[in-house]
Amino acid sequence: MGATIDIDIGGTFTDCFVVWRDGYGKGKAPTTRYNASVGFKNAIAAAAESFDASMEELLADTDLIRYSTTIATNTLIERTGPKLGLITTAGFEDCIIVGRSRQWADGLTPSEIRNQARAEKPEPLIPREMIVGVRERVDYEGDVVMPLRREDVMERLQYLVDKGAMGFVVSLLWSCSNPVHEHMIRDIILEEYPDVYLGSMPVLLSSDVSRKQGEYLRTMTTILDAYLHRDLAEQLTSLNEELIDYGYNRPLMVIHGTGGMSRLSHTTAVDTYNSGPIAGLLGGAEIARMYGVENVLVTDVGGTSFDFGMVVEGQAKFYDLFPIIDRWRVQIPLLEMKTVGAGGGSIARISPTGARITVGPESAGSMPGPACYGLGGTEPTVTDADVVLGYIDPDYYLGGRQRISLDRARRAVEEHIAQPLEMSVEEAALSIKQVVDMNMGNEIYKEVVLKGFYPEDFILLAYGGAGATHCCGYAEALAVEKILTFPYSSVFCAFGGSVMDIISVYETSRPLVFYEALIDSYFADFEEFNDIVEGMQGRAIHDMEVQGFDAERVRFTLELDMRYGTQYFTEYVQCPKLFLESEEDSEAICRLFTEKYKSLYGESSAYPEGGIEVLALRLKATYPIDHYRFPTYEAVGEDPGAAVKGTRPVCWEGKGYLETEIFDASLLRCGNVIRGPAIIEAVDSTCVLPGGRRYTVDRYMNGLIELDG
């Protein structure tokens, strides 16, 4: 069997995880914004080195390349998408400008939203002058109330073309119930402006992108697809061509934020959003399977942000149904990875009265970066505190590749925190660490308990540049007993790509009364329900077959978005059956909903007496593929002595500076046990092990951190 290559193109680094010759290798290279393929190739070349092979040799023997990218994020930040025209229903042209009024707050943190005087809506991706309304109306039942007139469409179209539109988004009211008018408009565009005229300019219909109600969300999802399409297509086409030149002529699979992947032809640009972090979450699910545990928390601590997500019952199953992409709320079920502004670059400050030390969300980023970088940063950051405390060796930062200054770190902490608060530099640095660790822990805590779970029932996975440095700190806030760190921690998201299946998700909005309390009656229109499911299933099978996957092997799961009475928000339940046959089935679904609701909000919160409705159905189609299995190793003994690099003074909470043993992670062997306090250094990460914790190199060569004694 040949190699598989997983690539995660992030904002700063391009990570690579390669499975080949019965083992794995990792590579990392700076992301090259001007041409992503340069960083892509460099990362593959770096990974090939770990097999003592060239990139060409590796690619020539590669069966599959999977790929996640931040191109969507970059295009949005840099606003480099094409000039688009939006055709919508007359009278509703301002829909995306109004943005449900809340658009100004979407994508901001609660503290940013507080300052209402400085509220600002983002610049629309399609300016108002490129939005036209056509006279037509379809109602909520899909009935045509006002017919569409060809002349009207032609007139509006001509206006957009004259204005320089390079692509069209068509999003009409209630096209999710009946897309007839959207189809007519597409036909007219294609007739009037065939390919020769428009070239490869896209015509995207909202009804093709989403069948869920909610015109703002549906329209924005479609606009983002159209807006991001060109840059994504260019990047992938360029990559494809280069890969062919290097002898790789198999498909390039693209990882989706929905938790699966598809061929490029079945990938919309929005699908790729946040795909890297979500691949990491799926990597967490694989780790859960390997270790035979149900619940894991994945945590990724980077320079400016802290990402976390949950795997429950072995699955990454929590979706954000209305995620915000940049500043835009959309309507695709993205697997949920939360982000907060905390990381190595987070800046520490004191409040005006000196009553508190705050850390973040402002970050020094990578430029100027922490004070210790010596690139102009003067305010103390989390990394500076880590250096002051002796956790990070200034001479071995990134394996010694980057020189940093202990003096600058000390000065920053001293001037900005220690002196004003009349405390020692060490106390100040420890306070910074405590605040960032506990705040990260509290953020995780809130999200976990909101989903009806307790963090203490989870194993915590720590990756990212600063994950191992701070994991014991935030684990304490969560009362988590077990933590796992990984030798491939710095490319964990790329590893996550290697365990993904082919997955597509289909959604349909349809209000269905499942329990009518007044007459004590359960839903019985099985034909209507089953028709919807059949329709989605048909689309799924078609999509799988055209990608060359055997429809027989596709597994389906169905989720229902449900609510009580007059509620606006829904909770979803996994439907035990794809097709309903009896009122008992409906009753069982209602029971599941109530059970889940009670587990989330308390025993007495449920209210079936108010009636139960399904508002939307979601079908997930999964085509499983074989994944790499990590080999296991035999324990060779607990003594880690061979890996000791030396000692240095390290400051620990409640103990002050202790001469602490430093270990070289690459020299540790299976079964070695290190008792805290200790520091375990790898080229790309530093694990800080406080007293009372024990680090064991387990059978997969991962670092298992547990409470000691």
Partner 1 sequence: MGGRDFDILERIKTEPATGDEQRCMELLNPADFEIFSHQMQMIALEANEVLIKTAGTPAGLAGDIGSCVYSAQGDPAAAAVGIWAHAFAGQLPIKYILKHWKDEPSVGIRDGDAFFCNEALYGGIHPPDCATFLPIFHGGELIAWAEAMAHTTDTGAVEMGGISLSASSRYEEGMKFPPIKIAEDFLLKEDIITLMENFVRDPRVITLDNKARMAACMRIRQRVLEVVEKKGRDFVVGGLRKMISEGSKVAKERLSRMNDGIYRQPVFLNGEEVESRGGKQALLRIMVAIHKEGDHVTVKFDGTSPEQPYSLNAYPHIIHPYGTGYVCCSHLFPDLPPSIGLMEAFDVEIPEGCLMNPSEEAAVGASPVSLFLTAQAIFPCLAKILFDSEIRSNIVSTYPYMTLYVVWGGIDRRGNYFVGLGPDINAGGFPARWDKDGVNTGGFFVATRSDCEDVEGIDVISSMSYLFRRQGQDNFGHGKYRGGAGMEFGYLAHKLPMIVIMSVGGCGKFVSAPGIFGGYGAPPLIGIKVEGTNLAEMLAAGDENVPTSFNELLTRRDMIEGEGRYTIGSAMCELGPLNEGDVFATFQGGGGGYGDVLERDPEAVLEDVKSGMVSHWAAGNVYKVAYDPTTMVIDVQKTAEVRDGEREERKRRGLSYEEFEEGWLEKKPPPEALEHYGSWPDCM
Least distance in angstroms from the C-beta of 647 to partner 1: 28
**Range 248-277, binding partner 1 (CB under 8 A):** none
**611 touches partner 1 by CB under 8 A:** yes
DSSP, residue by residue, 406-419? HHHHHHHHIIIIIH
**141 touches partner 1 by CB under 8 A:** yes
The residue ranges of DSSP E strands in 517-566, in sequence order, are: 521-522, 555-564
Q: How many helices (H) and strands (E) does the chain have?
A: 19, 35
Rounded CA gap, 371 and 374, in Å?
A: 6
**323 touches partner 1 by CB under 8 A:** no
Sole binder of partner 1 in the list 23, 77, 140, 582 (CB under 8 A): 140
**157 touches partner 1 by CB under 8 A:** no
Q: How many CB atoms lie within 10 A of CB 588?
A: 16
Strands 678-681 and 346-350, bridge-based pairing = unpaired
> Of the two residues 140 and 657, which places its CB atom closer to partner 1 in the complex?
140
**511 touches partner 1 by CB under 8 A:** yes
Least distance in angstroms from the C-beta of 614 to partner 1: 12
Using the contact rule CB under 8 A, the part of the chain among 10-18, 51-59, 107-115, 286-294 near partner 1 is: 107-115
End-to-end C-alpha distance for the chain, whole angstroms: 45
Using the contact rule CB under 8 A, the part of the chain among 221-229, 270-278, 291-299, 507-515 near partner 1 is: 507-515
Sole binder of partner 1 in the list 101, 552, 654, 709 (CB under 8 A): 101
**123 touches partner 1 by CB under 8 A:** no
310: Cβ–Cβ under 8 A, 6 or more apart, which residues?
Answer: 295, 296, 297, 298, 316, 318, 336, 447, 448, 451, 453, 458
> Of the two residues 292 and 353, which places its CB atom closer to partner 1 in the complex?
353
**37 touches partner 1 by CB under 8 A:** no
Least distance in angstroms from the C-beta of 657 to partner 1: 19
Strands 328-329 and 686-689, bridge-based pairing = unpaired
92: Cβ–Cβ under 8 A, 6 or more apart, which residues?
Answer: 133, 173, 215
Least distance in angstroms from the C-beta of 512 to partner 1: 10
Rounded CA gap, 702 and 707, in Å?
A: 16
**102 touches partner 1 by CB under 8 A:** yes
> Of the two residues 600 and 658, which places its CB atom closer to partner 1 in the complex?
600
> Of the two residues 25 and 360, which places its CB atom closer to partner 1 in the complex?
360
Using the contact rule CB under 8 A, the part of the chain among 76-84, 378-386, 604-612, 632-640 near partner 1 is: 604-612
**Range 569-588, binding partner 1 (CB under 8 A):** 569, 571
Q: Using an 8 Å Cβ cutoff, are 66 and 7 in contact? A: yes
Q: For 38-41, which contacts have Cβ atoms below 8 Å and span 24 or more sequence positions?
A: 39/9, 39/13, 39/14, 40/7, 40/9, 40/14, 40/239, 41/242
Least distance in angstroms from the C-beta of 629 to partner 1: 39
Q: Using an 8 Å Cβ cutoff, are 299 and 461 in contact? A: yes
**401 touches partner 1 by CB under 8 A:** no
Number of residues that bind partner 1 (CB under 8 A): 92
Q: Using an 8 Å Cβ cutoff, are 646 and 675 in contact? A: no
**351 touches partner 1 by CB under 8 A:** yes
**33 touches partner 1 by CB under 8 A:** no
The residue ranges of DSSP E strands in 517-586, in sequence order, are: 521-522, 555-564, 571-575
Rounded CA gap, 262 and 280, in Å?
A: 17
Using the contact rule CB under 8 A, the part of the chain among 128-136, 248-256, 404-412, 574-582 near partner 1 is: 128-136
625-664 footprint of partner 1 as x/- string (CB under 8 A): ----------------------------------------
Rounded CA gap, 394 and 389, in Å?
A: 11
Using the contact rule CB under 8 A, the part of the chain among 141-149, 188-196, 374-382, 572-580 near partner 1 is: 141-149
Sole binder of partner 1 in the list 23, 30, 164, 565 (CB under 8 A): 565
> Of the two residues 87 and 544, which places its CB atom closer to partner 1 in the complex?
87
Rounded CA gap, 543 and 466, in Å?
A: 40
User: Which residue's entry shows tokens 């695709």?
Assistant: 332
**567 touches partner 1 by CB under 8 A:** yes
**Range 62-91, binding partner 1 (CB under 8 A):** 90-91
**Range 354-373, binding partner 1 (CB under 8 A):** 354-359
> Of the two residues 144 and 293, which places its CB atom closer to partner 1 in the complex?
144
**111 touches partner 1 by CB under 8 A:** yes
Q: Using an 8 Å Cβ cutoff, are 468 and 686 in contact? A: yes
**174 touches partner 1 by CB under 8 A:** yes
> Of the two residues 291 and 523, which places its CB atom closer to partner 1 in the complex?
523
Sole binder of partner 1 in the list 22, 52, 120, 626 (CB under 8 A): 120
Using the contact rule CB under 8 A, the part of the chain among 4-12, 40-48, 185-193, 568-576 near partner 1 is: 568-576
**Range 212-231, binding partner 1 (CB under 8 A):** 213-217
Q: Using an 8 Å Cβ cutoff, are 90 and 339 in contact? A: no
Sole binder of partner 1 in the list 137, 289, 338, 694 (CB under 8 A): 137
> Of the two residues 97 and 546, which places its CB atom closer to partner 1 in the complex?
97
Q: Using an 8 Å Cβ cutoff, are 660 and 651 in contact? A: no
User: Which residue's entry shows tokens 């620990």?
Assistant: 652
**159 touches partner 1 by CB under 8 A:** no
Rounded CA gap, 673 and 680, in Å?
A: 12
Least distance in angstroms from the C-beta of 546 to partner 1: 31
| Tokens read off for 190 | 């294609």
Rounded CA gap, 578 and 596, in Å?
A: 19
Rounded to 5 degrees, what are φ and ψ at 119?
-60, 145
* Enclosing H/E stretch for 244: helix 215-245
**520 touches partner 1 by CB under 8 A:** no
Using the contact rule CB under 8 A, the part of the chain among 59-67, 71-79, 110-118, 301-309 near partner 1 is: 110-118
Select from 188, 185, 192, 231 the least CA-distant residue to 208: 185
> Of the two residues 33 and 121, which places its CB atom closer to partner 1 in the complex?
121
> Of the two residues 144 and 670, which places its CB atom closer to partner 1 in the complex?
144
| Tokens read off for 481 | 């007993």
| Tokens read off for 59 | 């690619």
DSSP, residue by residue, 161-174? HHTT-SSEEE--TT
Least distance in angstroms from the C-beta of 323 to partner 1: 16
**Range 413-472, binding partner 1 (CB under 8 A):** 421, 430-432, 434-435, 438-439, 442-443, 445-446, 449-450
**596 touches partner 1 by CB under 8 A:** no
623 pairs with which residues across the strands?
Answer: 502
Rounded CA gap, 495 and 489, in Å?
A: 9
Rounded CA gap, 39 and 32, in Å?
A: 5
> Of the two residues 34 and 101, which places its CB atom closer to partner 1 in the complex?
101
